[in-house]
Structure 1
């Protein structure tokens, strides 16, 4: 009798064992240690979060995660249409990894045991720039952007029927960014036709357009009395541009038409100056023989693009403009 009782107990234990399938009633990805990741856009354009046996996937066009800060109370909002803008939850019968999400040919194991397709609702994105302010010269640089992604009034079509969540936080997704280089080893140049002041390297250029002619004068400035002018949107307009698809050279500047290569990637505009405080152009002029040297310094300049910004060094030396005159 004891033998039969033992067999029955063993059979009950076998039937009660977990077969690996995950039964899910609600989605919970609130754990801040679960990081958001992205697949290679060339393979599978997804942003995803993983738990041991669960995944939460977002698919949207690759230009909708924008490297710029969003304005307060004005997030980016995209309507879920289960086509271009998709949200999918999946549960698995084993441990899931990146290869299961991003592979061109996903592995056969673990298997999806449950899938919820989002059929309605909105994807809401609030973006914030990540800034490095540790430089001792007063400069700052943008190192990336943190995009908080949430869902509003999202409807999941579950096997048991639709389920609506008014507010659902997906989490933070971080994108990398490199601020344009502002290190120039060339001498400053000035176009003879437009009078544009510029300096450049192979990937970026900093220019002063429509510079006040009273700033560049072939006269020695008194000691500790440089010429100064304020940056603004018309006179003394300071721009920082980065370039792609080619190498920036001297021949790019001062022509009657702007070359198509390299192409402008980004344009950062200096904030208007404030007397004695910020956005100041300072020029000190010296002379050796027949050559005047105009040392150009930009003081407390903030560069802005969209809703993002970073600072040049408090006393940023653009460089020397040398002008040789006839004896």
Structure 2
């Protein structure tokens, strides 16, 4: 962050003296897509024309994984800056991003935005459904809009305030959850079952007690997932060694800690097929058309038919 801030400030200082014969610039980068100098931090974002650049400097992690809208005010002292820059020759990414810039072309003029508002709207970038119906979160789309941006050309010529879309930028640092479970599930009681694997678990609470019965089925038993019945929760944990019995304890133990929680939307169904093997009954639990959501508003779909696991009863 400091490296980029110094680069922008140094360029402005180099051009602090002008010939005094200035006219207002026409600053128009419409239709050009923004790019990032570093796709991990996204601190310096730019749009290029052959001899012009529009450079947006952001604080680190401004483009984060939080879905929604945020606004940032541009001030003289703020870390967020917008700079319009012109050159005396054709430029490339290196002229904006390299710590040691190419010796040519030279910067002719810098116009720093004196005021204005930046609005950033973040939405998840979700994949198209796979053949099995599942989706994943590939990253995030950040739509950036500039409102009432007022530039001041070095030397004092003022450019009228403008509002315009800066563009959309994708970030891909997010790792979409992977739901993997064991073949065998476990029943805590007739209304709570669970399955887990290493550092993740899936729990079905308030289970419809008509689903698991010690009698063979001719047709699958079915029950709808609602907000109060058949509640499905998928958790990831800060350990790979979840102790036996953890899921059946009430209240739930404080450790291991949960990293992230995803809950099933009130759609989809649970199906159970029961067969008998000697004195035991084998209940195969399948969930269908389930979409999981977290507290940040992210969503992804499991395969349309997802095997929760087998439960054995006597």
TM-score of the alignment, normalized to the shorter chain, above 0.5: yes
Show the counterpart of 2:120. 125
State yes or no: 1:197 paired with 2:194. yes
Give the one of 159, 165, 177 matched to 2:161: 165
Q: How many residues align?
A: 284
Question: Do the aligned residues in 1 keep the contact of 2:115 with 2:149 (CA within 8 Å)?
Answer: yes
Q: For 1:101, what is the secondary structure of its paired residue?
A: helix
Show the counterpart of 2:143. 148
User: In 2, Cα distance between the equivalents of 1:239 and 1:47?
Assistant: 38
User: In 2, Cα distance between the equivalents of 1:315 and 1:89?
Assistant: 53
- Where structure 2 has 5 or more consecutive residues not aligned to the other structure, the ranges are 1-22
Show the counterpart of 2:178. 181
Structure with bigger gyration radius: 1
How far off its partner does 1:271 sit?
Answer: 0.9
Show the counterpart of 1:248. 240
- Where structure 1 has 5 or more consecutive residues not aligned to the other structure, the ranges are 1-22, 274-278
User: In 1, Cα distance between the equivalents of 2:47 and 2:201?
Assistant: 39
How far off its partner does 1:181 sit?
Answer: 0.8
State yes or no: 1:87 paired with 2:76. no
Question: CA, structure 1 residues 101+225, in 2 after alignment: closer, same or farther (shift >3 Å)?
Answer: same
How far off its partner does 1:174 sit?
Answer: 0.8
Alignment of 1:1-327 (within 5 A): 25-32=25-32, 34-39=33-38, 45-67=43-65, 69-70=67-68, 75-82=69-76, 83-159=78-154, 160-176=156-172, 177-191=174-188, 195-202=192-199, 204-217=200-213, 219-226=214-221, 228-242=222-236, 246-251=238-243, 253-254=246-247, 256-260=252-256, 264=259, 266-273=260-267, 279-305=268-294, 306-323=296-313, 325=314
> What is the TM-score when the length of structure 1 is the normalising length?
0.73
Question: CA, structure 1 residues 152+131, in 2 after alignment: closer, same or farther (shift >3 Å)?
Answer: same
User: In 2, Cα distance between the equivalents of 1:81 and 1:207?
Assistant: 49
Aligned-pair Cα RMSD in Å? 3.2
Show the counterpart of 2:15. none
Q: For 1:173, what is the secondary structure of its paired residue?
A: strand
How far off its partner does 1:281 sit?
Answer: 1.7
Q: For 1:319, what is the secondary structure of its paired residue?
A: strand
Question: Do the aligned residues in 2 keep the contact of 1:185 with 1:201 (CA within 8 Å)?
Answer: no
How far off its partner does 1:118 sit?
Answer: 1.5
User: In 1, Cα distance between the equivalents of 2:133 and 2:186?
Assistant: 26
Show the counterpart of 1:18. none
Question: Do the aligned residues in 2 keep the contact of 1:270 with 1:302 (CA within 8 Å)?
Answer: yes
Question: Do the aligned residues in 1 keep the contact of 2:195 with 2:309 (CA within 8 Å)?
Answer: no
Question: CA, structure 1 residues 121+316, in 2 after alignment: closer, same or farther (shift >3 Å)?
Answer: same
How far off its partner does 1:87 sit?
Answer: 1.6
